[in-house]
Amino acid sequence: MTKEDSALIRGLEGVVAAETRLCDLDGKNGRLAYVGYDIDELARKATFEEVTYLLLYGELPKAAQLDAFTVALTAAREIPRELTQAFRLMPKATDPMRVLQAAVATLGMSDPDTTDNSHAANVRKAIRLTSQIATAICAHHRVRSGQEPVAPAAGLGHAANFLYMLTGQRPGGAAVKAFDASLTLYAEHELNASTFTTRTIVSTQSDMHSAVAGGVGALKGPLHGGAGEAVMRTLMEIGEVASVDAFTEKALAAKRRLMGFGHRVYKAGDPRAAILRGMAEQACRESGQFQWYQIAVKLHERIGGAKGLIPNVDFYSAPLFYSLAIPVDLFTPVIAAGRIAGWSANIIEQHDDNRLIRPRAEYVGPGRRAFVDITKR
């Protein structure tokens, strides 16, 4: 395709590629809603289970519906024994996101609905994957740390069970609430790179596990899900509040790119960041890790004052996750544990009203040339 045929829009920025009933993202005014419900209310008042139900079914559940849904999620937590054995064979230094991608593909090998792309089958797969991804992340971490996986606890909700399987300790109420809210804040975000990847994959009539594995691969990049890890490593590099000023001056002089600031879509600030900031403050205080929150706040002030940049959701999720004893290289898998709700809902939406996603590219290579035989080149 040439310039005369169509205008080039690098990165597809601003291009509307799909209709959705799932996510209303108002970048101009800094607002976000899932199926009509403001993200602030969902993060503060609803559980991740309720939000997942909302994305899959289009309505918040009634009490009986939530009970049944929770039972289904709880029943789906176990992962195949063969997958845990595979974790033991993997190099311990393997990136957890690469392991998660392989785990999702492996789960597709044993799912009873793996090749069934009907609406009902996709909902069943979505429920199973939401629970199994959490278990897989925690089981692999335990195995690579030389520990035995912790079996899921039937009496714990999704967020509490994740932290329990990860650490082997039952978490406190404040930690559970903060982690549950973070899963909700990451659950859905319109056509971000990973979600667009999942929709592109299933637009070929591929299956949910293949699409989610592709989504994990897209989320792995530092310009998408990996930003939170980079933020925490920056905070650890700074080390103490007193060092923020010197670090900022040096970083600005070197024109160093600092992750966790700015957003492609939000122009008035990421509404999720403001919610996480308050939760991070409380969690860091209670865990004895308050210095990371203090460093983050001061860095926010210095970079904001110098460059006018506003933190995005990944900036304050970093000290929050770290205060919950989540290892830095598990920050992105944790985002996947929340985003599976949105990925699966988008996959279902794409399958229900599908058109193959096939954009064009503008050719900028050499003009047409005559072929030259190898003996004359």
- Residues taking part in catalysis: 263, 314
CA angle, residues 288, 294, 300, in degrees to nearest 5: 150
The rounded distance, in Å, linking the Cα atoms of 202 and 124 is: 16
CA angle, residues 16, 18, 24, in degrees to nearest 5: 80
The rounded distance, in Å, linking the Cα atoms of 204 and 216 is: 18
CB 61, CB 69: distance < 8 Å = yes
Token pair 């509490």 is found at 160
Q: Which of 194, 201, 267, 258 is nearest to 30 (CA)?
A: 267
β strands within the chain, DSSP E: 23-26, 31-34, 37-38
Q: Residue 24 burial by CB count (10 A; 0-12/13-18/19+): exposed, middle or buried?
A: middle
